[in-house]
Amino acid sequence: MRTLSEGDILFILLAVRWTLLLSLIAFLGGAVGGLAVALARTGEIRALRLLARGYITVFQGTPLLMQLFLAFFVPSIFGINVDPWTAAALGLSLHASAFLGEIWRGSIETVPHGQTEAATALGLRYWPRMALVVVPQAVRIAIPPTIGFLVQLIKATSLASIIGFVELTRAAQIINNATFRPFTLFGLVALVYFVICWPLSAYSRRIERKLTLASR
Amino acid sequence: MAVSEPPGERAPVVTMRGVSKWFGSFQVLRAIDLDVHRAERIVVCGPSGSGKSTLIRCLNQLEAHQDGTITVDGVELRPDLPGIEAVRREIGMVFQRFNLFPHLTALENCMLAPMKVRGLSRAAAEEAARTYLARVRIPEQAHKYPVQLSGGQQQRVAIARSLCMNPKIMLFDEPTSALDPEMVGEVLDVMVELAESGMTMVVVTHEMGFARRVADRVVFMDQGEIVEVAPPAAFFDHPRNERTRRFLSQILPAGLPETN
pLDDT for the residue B17: 96
Best residue in B85, B148, B168, B202 for a mutation probing chain A (most A CBs within 10 Å):
B85
Instruction: Please state, in angstroms and as integers, the Cα–Cα distance from residue A158 to each residue in A11, A96, A171, A172, A208, following that order.
Output: 16, 15, 10, 11, 27
Question: Among the listed ranges A58-67, B29-38, B126-135, B247-256, which one has the minimum average pLDDT value?
Answer: B247-256
Q: Looking at chain A from residue 73 to 132, which residues have their Cβ under 8 Å from any Cβ of chain B?
A: 112, 114-115, 117-125, 128, 132
Per-domain boundaries in chain A: 6-215
User: Where is pLDDT greater, at B179 or A210?
Assistant: B179
CB pairs under 8 A between A and B: 59
On the question of pLDDT at B255 being above 50, the answer is no
Q: What is the ipTM of this complex?
A: 0.90
In chain B, the residue whose alpha carbon lies closest to the alpha carbon of A134 is B101
CATH topology of domain A6-215: MetI-like fold (1.10.3720)
Mean of the per-residue pLDDT values of chain A:
94
B91–A121: do the CB atoms touch at under 8 Å?
yes
Q: Alpha-carbon distance B257 to A38, whole Å?
A: 53
Do the bridges between strand B200-204 and strand B169-173 make them parallel or antiparallel, or are there none, so unpaired? parallel
Q: How confident is the model at residue B256 (pLDDT cuts 50, 70, 90)?
A: low
How close B196 comes to chain A (CA, Å)? Answer: 23
Candidate from B86, B97, B165 with C-beta closest to A114: B97
Q: Does the reported pTM lie above 0.90?
A: no
On the question of pLDDT at A192 being above 90, the answer is yes
Query: What is the average pLDDT across B170-179?
Result: 97
pLDDT for the residue B1: 42
On the question of pLDDT at B82 being above 90, the answer is no
pLDDT for the residue B80: 76
A121–B101: do the CB atoms touch at under 8 Å?
no
How close B193 comes to chain A (CA, Å)? Answer: 22
Q: How confident is the model at residue A53 (pLDDT cuts 50, 70, 90)?
A: very high
B112–A132: do the CB atoms touch at under 8 Å?
yes
- Helix pair A182-214, A168-179: axis angle to 10 deg: 160
B93–A118: do the CB atoms touch at under 8 Å?
yes
| Strand, helix or coil for residue B159 | helix
pLDDT for the residue B2: 45
Q: Alpha-carbon distance A104 to A39, whole Å?
A: 9
Q: For the segment A91-107, what is each residue's pLDDT rounded down to a tens digit?
A: 999 999 999 999 999 99
Candidate from B60, B99, B117 with C-beta closest to A124: B117
Best residue in A115, A116, A122 for a mutation probing chain B (most B CBs within 10 Å):
A122
B102–A118: do the CB atoms touch at under 8 Å?
no
Candidate from A119, A124, A136 with C-beta closest to B103: A136
A120–B88: do the CB atoms touch at under 8 Å?
yes
How close A9 comes to chain B (CA, Å)? Answer: 49
On the question of pLDDT at A135 being above 60, the answer is yes
Chain B residues in contact with A143 by the CB 8 A cut-off are none
pLDDT for the residue B78: 83
Question: Would an 8 Å CB–CB cutoff place A133 in contact with chain B?
Answer: yes
Cβ-Cβ contacts under 8 Å for B150 (sequence gap 6 or more): B183
Q: How confident is the model at residue A76 (pLDDT cuts 50, 70, 90)?
A: confident
pLDDT for the residue A4: 86
3-state per-residue secondary structure call for A101-168: HHHHHHHHHHCCHHHHHHHHHCCCCHHHHHHHHHHHHHHHHHHHHHHHHHHHHHHHHHHHHHHCCCCH
Query: What is the average pLDDT across B47-57?
Result: 95
Chain B residues in contact with A136 by the CB 8 A cut-off are 103
How close A87 comes to chain B (CA, Å)? Answer: 40
In chain A, the residue whose alpha carbon lies closest to the alpha carbon of B170 is A121
On the question of pLDDT at B61 being above 50, the answer is yes
On the question of pLDDT at B258 being above 80, the answer is no
pLDDT for the residue A47: 97
User: Where is pLDDT greater, at A104 or B252?
Assistant: A104
B95–A114: do the CB atoms touch at under 8 Å?
yes
Percent of chain A with pLDDT over 70: 99
Q: For the segment B121-133, what is each residue's pLDDT rounded down to a tens digit?
A: 999 999 999 999 9
On the question of pLDDT at B215 being above 60, the answer is yes
Query: What is the average pLDDT across B43-51?
Result: 94
Query: What is the average pLDDT across A48-74?
Result: 95
The single-letter DSSP state of residue B167 is -
Q: How confident is the model at residue B260 (pLDDT cuts 50, 70, 90)?
A: very low
Backbone phi, psi, residue B116, to 5°: -85, -25
Percent of chain A with pLDDT over 90: 87
Q: Alpha-carbon distance A151 to A197, whole Å?
A: 6
A123–B93: do the CB atoms touch at under 8 Å?
no
pLDDT for the residue A214: 67
B85–A133: do the CB atoms touch at under 8 Å?
no
